Amino acid sequence: MNEKKREDVELLSISSGETSQPFQWSVGKHGSYFLQQLRDNKKIVGIRCPKCKRVYVPPRPVCGQCYVAMDEMVPLSDEGTIYVCTIVQFGFVDPSTGVQRPVPYTWAFVKLDGADTCLTHFLDSVDPEKVKVGARVKAVFEERRTGNLMDIKHFAVL
């Protein structure tokens, strides 16, 4: 187009270096209650919409489908079914930790008994014969829990 030919110029790029920008994310009342139940009682809770009766996990204050407020916390089973899953063999740096997770690992959407939406988490197996849509799984909790989604270590394939 209109650019001058600068065929002999050395093309440079500048690295940002090892940057770090810490954030502090508010979890909210509903989410905090969920995490406290995980931490203190090894219990998983959801929340029911008064209108459509869907049970959401993690709990949040508004049903997006109905746009009504939700308040009814409901206990959920620590067992459920694999809704979708994949064995990840492609490594990448997790921007939240700056660390590359070891591969392979299994990432699954688990529909807990009593819930209508899924928790997204890791499974304990990378065996393609066991890791399948529809397989049953059970939550395994960390011994030392801090009020974090990772208080669930992973889900074990039953």
Shortest reach from residue 58's CB to other proteins, in Å: 5
Residue spans of beta strands (DSSP E) within the chain: 44-48, 55-56, 62-63, 68-69, 72-76, 79-88, 93-94, 99-100, 105-112, 119-122, 136-141, 152-157
Please name the helix (run of DSSP H) or strand (run of DSSP E) that holds residue 52, with its range, or none.
none
From the list 45-53, 72-80, 128-136, 137-145, the region that binds other proteins by CB under 8 A is 128-136
Which backbone phi and psi does 69 adopt, to 5 degrees?
A: -75, 145
Instruction: Kindly state whether residue 67 participates in binding other proteins, applying the rule CB under 8 A.
Output: no
Considering only 38, 56, 70, 157, the residue that binds other proteins (CB under 8 A) is: 56
Shortest reach from residue 158's CB to other proteins, in Å: 18
Amino acid at position 122, single letter: F
Instruction: Kindly state whether residue 20 participates in binding other proteins, applying the rule CB under 8 A.
Output: no
Site residues for other proteins per CB under 8 A = 1-2, 11, 13, 16, 23, 25, 27, 31, 56-58, 60, 64, 83-90, 92-96, 105, 107-109, 117-122, 128, 132-134, 148-150
